[in-house]
Each structure stands twice: as structure tokens, then as C-alpha cells.
Amino acid sequence: MDILTFSLALAAYFALHSIMAANSVKKFLTASIIKERYYRLFFNAVASLLLVAILYFYFLVEKEVLLKNDWLALPGVLLVLAGLYWLLKAMESYDTSEFLGTYQSKHGKAPEHISLNTSGLNGRVRHPLYFGTLLVIWGGFLLLPNNASLSVAVVSTVYVVIGSLLEEQKLEQQFGEAYRLYRRQVPMLIPFPWKSGEK
């Protein structure tokens, strides 16, 4: 597989992910195809299966080494480990059952969030899961500095930025002024130490 085809497949995967996460698409699908209580499970299942396909495509790409430096492995490992640790810490502020969709399948719908979640790493950055993902994918590029890894890093970064902006539109509609204040106080993706909503 050539690198352009792989990059387009990855971009299509992320585009489908964003489309399925849109409220309008969710309303259409839950009204015509799948019950609302199972939508999150369906969403995660589709995303996981397609991710397996993307990983398969990655191994089919004709690799071209871009950086020949053995010293890149150490910072690469450190970035990946830091990203994984950050992701685990970030998940402490979320309901895992809701994230996976098991809560919705059991109770019929997602819980109503009447207040904005600014606990844990959400007080350091507005999208902690996305930040952790960026650390992992760019660390992965340093570990495997080839054209396919660079494609993953670049396309994923573009998706993270676009996905963050789309998600913020929904959050602002839901929480209004509380979210606008939160947005002014806390950075979007990079947890700058001098700008934080933590008290």
C-alpha cells in the first residue's frame, strides 16, 4: 500500500468517527436503525473494528525511514510512557461505564451532566485525553521514524485539533457561560503551567 492511500484511509476513519459523534447523526441513527441505549456500544464497536483495519493497513505500507538516529528511541519511549500515564490519570475523571457505553445499555440513556467536569486533569487542559494521545503518537513516530508513522502523527494531530473544536461547540451549547469561562481559564490541548483552572 502506498503512503497516500494509507493517509486517505486514516483521514476517512477520523472523518467517520467525527460524523458518528455528531448529535444530528446520532439522532438520525437512533431514530431509524439502533436504539439509543446501544448507540455508544455500537459507536465503540465500529471505531474499534475500523481501527484494526487501519493498523493492518499500517503494516502494508511500504516503509521509508525518515530519521536515522538511534538516540531518538529514548525520548520516543519516554513520550509514549508519559502519554499512557497521562491517559490513565485523565480517565480517573470520567465514568468508564459511560465512556464504554455499558451504562447507557443498562439504564437506557446517558446520565445527565448538570455541571461541567473540571476535575483532575480537566483543570489543566480542556481535552486531556487528546493531549495524552498526541504524546503517544508522536512518541511512536520517534520510536519508528518512518513515513507511515509520520502520516499517523500528522493526520491524527489534525483530527485532534478539529475534533476538539467540534466537541467544544457541543459543550458550549450544553453549559453556556460556564464553558466559556472555563475556556478562557484553561488551555485547549497543551497544559501550560502558567495557565490553569486549578485552584
Of the CA atoms within 13 Å of residue 171, those in its CB half-sphere come to 19
pTM, to two decimals? 0.85
Q: How far is the C-alpha of 159 from the C-alpha of 152, rounded, in Å?
A: 10
Name which of 110, 146, 86, 134 is nearest 38 in CA terms: 110
Cell of 15: 472523518
Residue type, 11: A
Q: What is the pLDDT of residue 21?
A: 87
If the chain, 199 residues long, is cut into consecutive pieces of 10 residues, what is the mean pLDDT of each piece?
A: 95 94 88 87 93 96 89 94 96 83 79 79 94 97 96 97 92 91 92 60
C-alpha cell recorded at residue 199: 485552584
| Alpha carbons 92 and 172: distance in angstroms, whole number | 23
| pLDDT value at residue 195 | 59
Give 87's contacts (C-beta < 8 A, 6+ positions apart).
129, 132, 133, 136
Question: Are 147 and 63 a contacting pair, CB within 8 Å?
Answer: yes
In this predicted structure, what is the pLDDT of residue 69?
Answer: 81
Closest CA to 116 of 91, 93, 92: 93
User: Rounded to whole angstroms, how far apart are CA atoms 90 and 94?
Assistant: 8
pLDDT at 196: 55
Q: What is the CB neighbour count within 10 angstroms for residue 60?
A: 12
Burial class (CB in 10 A: 0-12, 13-18, 19+), 53: exposed
Q: How far apart are CA 135 and CA 107, in angstroms?
A: 35
Query: CA 138 to CA 135: how far, in whole Å?
Result: 6
Element spanning 17, H or E: helix 3-21
Of residues 142, 153, 166, the one with CA closest to residue 6: 153
